[in-house]
């Protein structure tokens, strides 16, 4: 059974810092990995999707990497802003025809002005 863990559970940084969020998983047989952000009381916003054959994806100040062999993904946020404050979730789509995302435990990020 796929287990997905995110470290740290919570992170507080001053504005402008670069930061890294970590996601680890136990089963490397995946189709893709998605990073989402969730604002309080809201749904999920897709940030980046990495297919299993890819090693990284970039969008603006965000860069996500994937290392299937070690069961790890990182989300790098450059020059953090207060508007980046949210909960960040990684989720994996497993291989084997099962079309369900398995979500990590989330990292709650607070960026202070």
CB nearer another protein, residue 14 or residue 98: 98
Is 91 an interacting residue with respect to another protein (CB under 8 A)? yes
Tokens of 64: 């996500």
CB atoms near residue 25 (< 10 Å): 23
Cα(66)–Cα(61) distance, integer angstroms:
17
Are the beta carbons of 91 and 23 closer than 8 angstroms?
no
Choosing from 102, 107, 109, 111, the residue that interacts with another protein (CB under 8 A) is 102
- Which one, 69 or 99, has the nearer CB to another protein? 99
Question: Does the protein bind another protein through residue 62 (CB under 8 A)?
Answer: no
Q: How far is CA 49 from CA 10, 38, 40, 100, 113, in A?
A: 22, 16, 22, 15, 29
Whole-number minimum distance, CB 44 to another protein, in Å?
Answer: 4
Residues 21-40 that bind another protein (CB under 8 A): 31-32, 34, 36
Residues in touch with another protein (CB under 8 A): 31-32, 34, 36, 41-46, 49, 51, 89, 91, 93, 98-103, 105-106
């Amino acid at each position: 059974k796929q287990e997905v863990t995110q470290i740290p559970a919570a992170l507080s940084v001053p504005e402008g810092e670069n930061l890294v969020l970590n996601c680890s998983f136990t089963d490397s047989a995946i189709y893709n990995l998605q990073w989402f952000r969730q604002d309080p009381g809201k749904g999920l916003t897709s940030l980046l999707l990495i297919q299993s054959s890819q090693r990284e994806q970039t969008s603006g100040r965000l860069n996500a990497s994937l290392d299937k062999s070690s069961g790890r993904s990182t989300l790098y946020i450059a020059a953090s802003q207060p508007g980046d404050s949210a909960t960040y979730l990684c989720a994996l789509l497993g291989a084997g025809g099962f079309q369900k995302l398995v979500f990590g435990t989330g990292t709650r990020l607070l960026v202070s002005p």
